[in-house]
Structure 1
């Protein structure tokens, strides 16, 4: 790999004696990781079930390393949302924020959703997580990953940080700013990041990051916690960005992050004022642990915030639409969904508890997408299937992960069963994969077209 000469000079100057160890990592294989989904499976069952050789990521209880030759992204368990493929050092960030069930949480720069899915799993689908992504293309991937994980308490938005700051002053208990950055920690896994790198780009990123942090500050409650992270090494985007943020507001306290398993402190000598407290931040270096690299800072807002005086979202679904859904629920499910029912045209959603009014915001997903009202009938959405457990439905069709039938289902083909039970939940080794409709001995396939494999 050919690294930019300006980057090499800069890192040699910054790292001094450590530089050769740092640069030697570019001749090694990148670290591959996945995180199991505690909303669907526990650790022990997961380890017994999956056919990959895994070793634990020491700084993330749900994380594991896998070997480069494995292909977990192509396994049906991935389609069932049993795990998320994620670069290992990125897993540490959500562990630092650690939201509790019932809290109001914002992931401000959330795509593709690795950290959102991790935070939401910690919240056990209780409370509210707003996952925002400014780029329309990237927000689609974010929304799909939230769906696959069986997350029901997320509001996915496609907005600017400024617009959200106007809507949600002093609203959130916890905020994650996983900031857009120069991506120096991506070089081993993304050649494009190498081509894109320049010192000017680093400086542009730093300006953007400071602006995003200003917006996040407005939205944090008194006593609230903000975690800032990047996947880059440059001090301008890390220590110096946090230094500037702390200098701007006098009611912020930099909290200490535990340094174990090879995690290093931030560098005070890389700040502009030799700011001693910067050692409370954390750096994950590829030459100190198995991962591509991250910077993490944890900050508490100690001063008062404006109190949020917005309104909560009200159910707006027509009686007929709700009636059609309830009829489907009675015929197909063995569980009741008791949440505010919200309609976007013909599509019905079950909103998270205490969901704020989102009129005027670009909302991509509002809680759990239950399905669509069609002529005199209700057609369930894929998201509903992935949020259920097999015992939540009257009928299911279980396929073995290594069977031809499972492959056929993921390709969108029909499956012969010889029965006639109507809607059923198709599962893989007992874990929901999607819907099928059994009519006259054949299961019609409702696996979404965009997810089907060739």
Structure 2
């Protein structure tokens, strides 16, 4: 085998993998000759998989180990489709969908994604919360945290707090607070060598050892923020035992109140190997994903539970005092678009907060975020202008199908959608709009894309410049 991909693999990596895999080493190498797979995950808070299959304009095929995951062909550009801009799916490598699919998140829980950018796992658990409880999505890099926020806004997740903070600082704010924690740890990326050859070029054996020190500290931080009875999912996209089984072995010794629990199985999964850790037979409950056994790249995951039972949930909803004129302008706008519910729930005026003419809808859980560096608390509803309220793009995307009356819905193959996403004005026939003038939600197949203002049969485009395709 002399393919470019194989020649890019470091020799020290290959020697270690041969030791680890034995007879499986040749099939593992052969996987590098195979093309990678492409996947998307449906946002089931907005659309069911059945309805998605009916309206998606390109070929998709179910991913058998992720209930809302689909393969698509390499020649498709799903990010150009209006369904993507409506937040109906997220593009994600198929194996990378596995961790979030194996931690059982329930509406109303408090969930932390510690290293959340670009948002694959955070959008998945945020969608599972269905607007209830709290999602804290953190990334230490401000640039990455902004990209993370965009993906969460695209998914229409209202109950969020997006921070860019050091995890050790977060522990002080959130001791034993979260029901569920995802720690997709920074790792050497060996499982992604087929997908990104640059990772193979940068790889050194020393890098894994250095990263394992960081991973250990992150694991301790996560364990200390987890409620008694809570669950934590640790994952990497590497094969290195010093970043996988050895981290979990170490964590179980350092935090004996944690224990490994089994995850929903799949025939292509491989078990963790106790010999690659400290010999603890419990390590078999970890899952390894190898590219020669699955239609995806390499991953490792471990689901842990903290002993004990959770006490009553901390944090309560606070009462907001809104200036009378602010509420008046917002009510005028909501009447104009015929607001019924927002994200499946009755609009709660106590959750509205105004900061410097910007209006936010806070999570129903109010908590002590003081001292944390953050870029968003809650859903950005819009701006207060002179004597009026101007809605923001994240508000449009937080609406589910049929939650507002003033809609203009176009079919997924309507060429006007592409023009709308470029910021152009559209011609609308009288029978296509709910009202003859004023604010409308432009939708694709009934799913909101953004706002526009109808004047004499022309829809003035309110799709923000920074969102345009």
Correspondence for 2:433: none
Of stretches 317-326 and 251-260 in structure 1, the one that deviates more from structure 2 is: 317-326
Q: Specify every segment of 5 or more residues in structure 1 that has no aligned partner in the other structure, as ranges.
A: none
Question: CA, structure 1 residues 399+259, in 2 after alignment: closer, same or farther (shift >3 Å)?
Answer: closer
For 1:235-250, what aligned pairs fall within 5 Å after superposition?
235-250=241-256
Question: CA, structure 1 residues 307+400, in 2 after alignment: closer, same or farther (shift >3 Å)?
Answer: closer
Question: Counterparts of 1:309 and 1:36 in 2: how far apart (Å)?
Answer: 31
Work out whether 1:167 is the aligned partner of 2:173. Answer: yes
Return the offset for 1:399. Answer: 2.3
Work out whether 1:396 is the aligned partner of 2:407. Answer: yes
Q: 2:452 aligns with which of 436, 439, 447?
A: 436
Report the count of equivalent residues: 452
Correspondence for 2:468: 452
Correspondence for 1:299: 304
Correspondence for 2:68: 62
Question: Counterparts of 2:51 and 2:312 in 1: how far apart (Å)?
Answer: 44
SS in 2 for 1:84: strand
Correspondence for 1:382: 393
Return the offset for 1:270. Answer: 0.6
> 4+ residue runs of structure 1 moved beyond 4 angstroms?
303-314
Question: CA, structure 1 residues 287+390, in 2 after alignment: closer, same or farther (shift >3 Å)?
Answer: closer
Q: Give the structure-2-normalised TM-score.
A: 0.92
Of stretches 30-39 and 185-194 in structure 1, the one that deviates more from structure 2 is: 185-194
Correspondence for 2:14: 8
SS in 1 for 2:180: strand
For 1:421-432, what aligned pairs fall within 5 Å after superposition?
421-432=437-448
Work out whether 1:205 is the aligned partner of 2:176. Answer: no
SS in 2 for 1:355: coil
Question: Counterparts of 1:409 and 1:126 in 2: how far apart (Å)?
Answer: 31
* Contact 2:381 2:392 (C-alpha < 8 Å) held by counterparts: yes
Question: CA, structure 1 residues 425+307, in 2 after alignment: closer, same or farther (shift >3 Å)?
Answer: closer
SS in 1 for 2:360: strand
String of CA shifts for 1:187-237, please: whole Å, max 9, x gaps.
122222122211111111111111111111111111111110111111111
Q: 2:276 aligns with which of 270, 273, 276?
A: 270
Correspondence for 2:379: 368
Q: 1:409 aligns with which of 406, 420, 436?
A: 420
String of CA shifts for 1:48-102, please: whole Å, max 9, x gaps.
1112222211111000111112221211111111111111111111122111111
For 1:310-329, what aligned pairs fall within 5 Å after superposition?
315=320, 317-329=322-334
Q: Specify every segment of 5 or more residues in structure 2 that has no aligned partner in the other structure, as ranges.
A: 342-346, 431-435
Question: CA, structure 1 residues 344+27, in 2 after alignment: closer, same or farther (shift >3 Å)?
Answer: farther
Question: CA, structure 1 residues 316+166, in 2 after alignment: closer, same or farther (shift >3 Å)?
Answer: farther
Return the offset for 1:404. Answer: 2.5
Question: CA, structure 1 residues 427+79, in 2 after alignment: closer, same or farther (shift >3 Å)?
Answer: same
Question: CA, structure 1 residues 119+305, in 2 after alignment: closer, same or farther (shift >3 Å)?
Answer: closer
Correspondence for 2:294: 289
SS in 2 for 1:413: coil
Correspondence for 1:334: 339
Question: CA, structure 1 residues 331+258, in 2 after alignment: closer, same or farther (shift >3 Å)?
Answer: closer
* Contact 1:170 1:308 (C-alpha < 8 Å) held by counterparts: no
Question: Counterparts of 2:201 and 2:318 in 1: how far apart (Å)?
Answer: 45
Question: CA, structure 1 residues 413+451, in 2 after alignment: closer, same or farther (shift >3 Å)?
Answer: same
SS in 1 for 2:291: coil
Return the offset for 1:348. Answer: 1.0
* Contact 2:317 2:351 (C-alpha < 8 Å) held by counterparts: no
Question: Counterparts of 1:17 and 1:407 in 2: how far apart (Å)?
Answer: 51
String of CA shifts for 1:235-291, please: whole Å, max 9, x gaps.
1111001111111112111112243231110011111x2121110111111111111
Question: Counterparts of 1:72 and 1:321 in 2: how far apart (Å)?
Answer: 39
* Contact 2:317 2:364 (C-alpha < 8 Å) held by counterparts: no
Correspondence for 1:106: 112
Q: Give the structure-1-normalised TM-score.
A: 0.95
